[in-house]
Amino acid sequence: MLSHKTSVHFVNAEGHGNKMMLVPTFVLLYWKKFLLIIGFVMTILLVIIGIFIYQKTSQHYQAQLERANYVRKQIDLQKLQQSFKSIDESINKVNQFMTARGLHSLKMKKIDQNALMMQDVNKMSALYQKNIQKLEENVVLIPLGKPYEGKITSHFGTRANPFTGHGSEGHSGTDFRGKMGDPIMSTAEGKVSFAGQKGGYGNCIIIDHGFNLQTLYGHLSKINVKVGDSIKGEKTIGAIGSTGRSTGPHLHYEIHFKGERINPELYFNF
Ligand SMILES: [Zn+2]
């Protein structure tokens, strides 16, 4: 049956150039089914080609997307590194300042970079940076540490009368025993608001630090500053003495907050 062939004659209308073809007989008998199979095969081929093209283009798109993401990440990382560098510098400045004041350095945990790799990482580090800068600006104006490294001989509060030994009196600051002429430092940056004789304080300096904070240094033998002077960084402002109501060379140190005398020892450490 399969090898059976039928001859087909193509007859030209003008009578010449007639053609004859041998066609397998089953093709002529089942031509509809034949067409269907060919159509089916073509459809499958087209689908396969379509899938192939789609995969190729989506792979390309994916690669482009990955590259874009990589570039974006690189930019974020650079900004992040800059921000961290700036933060580190600020912390270093604060640490230097506090070390100079005899205070323990501000310890900051190393921030897990993965934890920071969130969507608004730039926003977050900018905020971080701003806060640290503010801290740095403010911390230099806050009286921290001691104006003189000497033994504390009298605390803030009620104490026995140092002159008579009888009864008690309020002590408005902290006393440091010292050597006559030893230099004393301002505990923060600020502006000199008083420099001169002040009753029982003897030779006295008052420095205004803003934030309603003032510091007072009394019984000095020497005053190195004058009213209106700006005090920046580490600066010797005067020398230990025994002027005013004093029983021997010492520094009387006060901190005023909103016009009230507060315990300076609260500010000796962070
Ligand atoms: Zn005192």
Given a cut of 50, is residue 110 above it in pLDDT?
no
Q: What is the mean pLDDT of the chain?
A: 83
- The model's confidence at residue 120, banded by pLDDT at 50, 70 and 90, is low
User: What's the CA-to-centroid distance between 217 and ligand 1, angstroms?
Assistant: 10
User: For the residues of 46-92, what is the DSSP string, one character each?
Assistant: HHHHHHHHHHHHHHHHHHHHHHHHHHHHHHHHHHHHHHHHHHHHHHH
Q: Which of 22-36, 161-175, 218-232 has the highest mean pLDDT?
A: 218-232
Distance CA 180, CA 238 (A): 11
Query: Tokens 């590194």 belong to which residue?
Result: 81
User: What's the CA-to-centroid distance between 170 and ligand 1, angstroms?
Assistant: 10
User: What's the CA-to-centroid distance between 162 and ligand 1, angstroms?
Assistant: 10
> Which pLDDT tens digit goes with each residue over 206-260?
999 988 899 999 999 999 999 999 998 768 999 999 999 998 999 999 999 888 9
Share of the chain above pLDDT 90, in %: 40
Q: Which of 98-102, 179-183, 262-266 has the highest mean pLDDT?
A: 179-183
| Extents of the domains making up the chain | 68-139, 152-267
> Which pLDDT tens digit goes with each residue over 134-157?
777 777 888 888 999 999 999 998
User: For the residues of 192-229, what is the DSSP string, one character each?
Assistant: EEEEEE-GGG-EEEEEEEETTEEEEEEEESEE---TTP
Q: List % helix, strand, coil for the chain (3-state, nearest 5).
A: 40, 25, 35
pLDDT of residue 114: 45
- The model's confidence at residue 32, banded by pLDDT at 50, 70 and 90, is confident
Question: Which residues are CB-neighbours of 111 under 8 A, at least 6 positions away?
Answer: 84
pLDDT of residue 16: 76
92 three-state secondary structure: helix
> Which pLDDT tens digit goes with each residue over 224-238?
999 999 998 768 999
Looking at this protein, which amino acid is placed at residue 113? Answer: Q
Q: pTM for the complete prediction?
A: 0.61
User: What's the CA-to-centroid distance between 253 and ligand 1, angstroms?
Assistant: 7
Given a cut of 60, is residue 105 above it in pLDDT?
no
Please give the average per-residue pLDDT across 33-62, as a whole number.
Answer: 90
User: What's the CA-to-centroid distance between 218 and ligand 1, angstroms?
Assistant: 8
pLDDT of residue 99: 67
In which element (H, E) is residue 29 found? Answer: helix 25-29
- Is the domain defined by 152-267 classed in CATH 3.30.420.40? no
Please give the average per-residue pLDDT across 67-93, as a whole number.
Answer: 79
Distances (CA, A) of 30 to 20, 98, 132: 20, 100, 87
User: What's the CA-to-centroid distance between 252 and ligand 1, angstroms?
Assistant: 4
Distance CA 257, CA 213 (A): 5
Distance CA 52, CA 235 (A): 78
Closest CA to 209 of 253, 240, 255: 255
